[in-house]
Amino acid sequence: MTLAAFWDWIDQRDIDKHVVSIAILFGTVSISRWAMTFAAAHANDPNCSLVIAAVTAPYMILQGAAIKFYFEARSTPQ
């Protein structure tokens, strides 16, 4: 099986879209876990929420774009 044929097999089954979505979901869980740990360790710091927002906001933009792509790809007739 050539590499092109293998990629066509993956692409026809949308495996690439599922893998990317699952990877982003695990990233979301990891960042959320970090944010809760950071908040517990710095509960009295007035800048705690700013640090969490600065770390999580860019990832949430990535997550929103990935979810939009995923659902658009699923709803597009092939």
Distance CA 73, CA 70 (A): 5
pLDDT in tens, 45-62: 999 999 999 999 999 999
Residue whose C-alpha is closest to residue 63's, from 35, 31, 25, 32: 25
How far apart, in Å, are the Cα atoms of 78 and each of 1, 19, 27, 42, 46? 24, 20, 30, 50, 52
pLDDT of residue 39: 94
* 74: its two tokens: 């699923």
Low-confidence ranges of the chain (pLDDT < 50): none
pLDDT of residue 77: 64
pTM attached to this predicted model: 0.73
pLDDT of residue 1: 65
